[in-house]
Structures are given as structure tokens and as C-alpha cells.
Amino acid sequence: MHTREEQLAAFDRLLTIMDELRERCPWDRKQTFESLRQNTIEETYELTSVILKKDMDEICKELGDVLLHIVFYAKLGSETGSFDIADVCERLCDKLVFRHPHVYGTVKANNENEVEQTWEQVKLKEKGGNKTVLAGIPESLPSLVKAYRIQDKARNAGFDWDEREQVWDKVKEEIAEFEQEISNLDADKQEAEFGDLMFSLINAARLYKIKPDNALERTNQKFIRRFNYLEQTAHKQGKDLSQMTLDEMEQIWQEAKRIENA
């Protein structure tokens, strides 16, 4: 690992390169906050993807791409006199110190749960911070992630089940309500009740310390692997999936599962 001096030197090199690119590269000179926004979203998703794969070399690479965007935005801010990278770092440091009174103050917190219980209360007291418990959740968050964040913030305010097992009664209740609307053939209410069901399942995941977006992505990747195996096996047999029966496809699917679990 590098020394602190080497780390600072590497960051200084990045800032210098950013200055040079902004001055001399036609593409970099043209960029704005708005033009970079979508790329930032894509880079963030690429980072989260390799994190799930636990590929440290790719994580390092994607972290660099995300860091480039942060430095780029700071450079744009400095050009208008709004802020620079030092302002970004100082505001972050001040926020971290303020939000960790158990480290930098007199508040006692002996475990993770005690830290989380005071987190939202500390943020509400922060100058310029969120004025309500659920404020600060980005509207553009994917719905699955947003639901988890909403529930987590509500929990920090004390709005939660006494025992996590109680959530299953809610899940069963939502399943029954969804089934009722299915039988009523009301498409709008079906969608609403399905949303309630998903929200309750995400709540269950939270209570059992499962990140639902991670869990679903693992299932996505598992399905892709098995479906690719199905497609490749069918091609080896000289068949097209559209020409196979469901039973034939199921046999290959089960074979894919056995290979994966071996």
C-alpha cells in the first residue's frame, strides 16, 4: 500500500491532469454539469456491478472513473467561482465530524445499532440539513433502492416493527389484497396493490439485513447464466428455443442448476 505522501501526490497529479484536459482537450472543454450527469449515473452503476462481482481490480478501475467525475465537477465549479475541490473536501469533512459525535464528541455509541438510532436526529439538527425525516431521498433513485431508504429512515425515527417476524403478517396481508384485485380485474388497483406487496417484501429484506437490490441483481445474474446455458445447449442440439417444448427446456434448465450447484 502507498504512504500518505504518495496518496496525496497521486491526487495532486489527478488535479493537474484535470486542469490540462480542461484547457487543451476539445471534448473536455465542452463538458458541463448537465452533459456529464448521465455518464456519472452510468459510471456509478458500473461500480456497483463490479462490487457485487467482488472483482478488486475492476473495483479499483471503476472507482477511478467515479473519482474523475467528482474532480471534473469540482473543476467546473472552480471556473465559475462557486466552489473547488478543497470546498468539496472541507464540507464533507465538516459533515462527517458533525454526524459522528460518538467519535468527535461526547455521545456514547457502543455498537452499530446505537449509531444508526441517532443518525437521523443528528442530521435534522445539522445547519441546512433535512427538515423532515424523509427529506433528502433523491427523487431519481431507482424505486427499489428508494423504498429501502424510506423504510430505513423511518426506522431511525423509531417507526418500525417491535419484532422482525411481525413483517410476515404484513406480507401475507398484502398478498391477499393483491389476489383480491386480480380477481376484480381492476388493472389500476392491481398495480397499486402489487406496489404495496413489493414494499412489504423490501421491508422484510431490510429487517433481515438483506439488501434487496443486491439480492435481485444476484438472481438476475443467475437467471442470465442459466438461460444462456439453455440457449447454448439447444443450439448444440440443433434446436431453436421457439421450437422446443417447455418440458424440454425445463430439463436443460435443471441441468444448468445442477452444474451451478455442484
* Structural domain contains residue 77: yes
pLDDT in tens, 213-240: 989 988 999 999 999 999 999 999 998 9
Same domain, 218 and 190: no
Number of domains in the chain: 3
* Structural domain contains residue 227: yes
pLDDT in tens, 92-135: 999 999 888 888 888 877 777 777 766 666 766 665 555 678 88
Range of the domain at 164: 136-213
The identity of residue 206, as a single letter, is R
Whole-number pLDDT of residue 127: 57
* Structural domain contains residue 95: no
- The CATH number of whichever domain residue 146 belongs to comes to 1.10.287.1080
Q: How confident is the model at residue 47 (pLDDT cuts 50, 70, 90)?
A: very high
Whole-number pLDDT of residue 117: 67
The half-sphere exposure of 92 on its side-chain side, counting CA atoms within 13 A, is: 8
On whether the CB atoms of residues 126 and 95 are closer than 8 A, the answer is yes
* Structural domain contains residue 124: no
- The whole-chain average pLDDT of the chain stands at 91
Whole-number pLDDT of residue 128: 58
Comparing 171 with 243, the larger pLDDT belongs to 171
Classify the C-alpha dihedral 157-158-161-164 as positive or negative. positive
pLDDT in tens, 171-188: 999 999 999 999 998 899
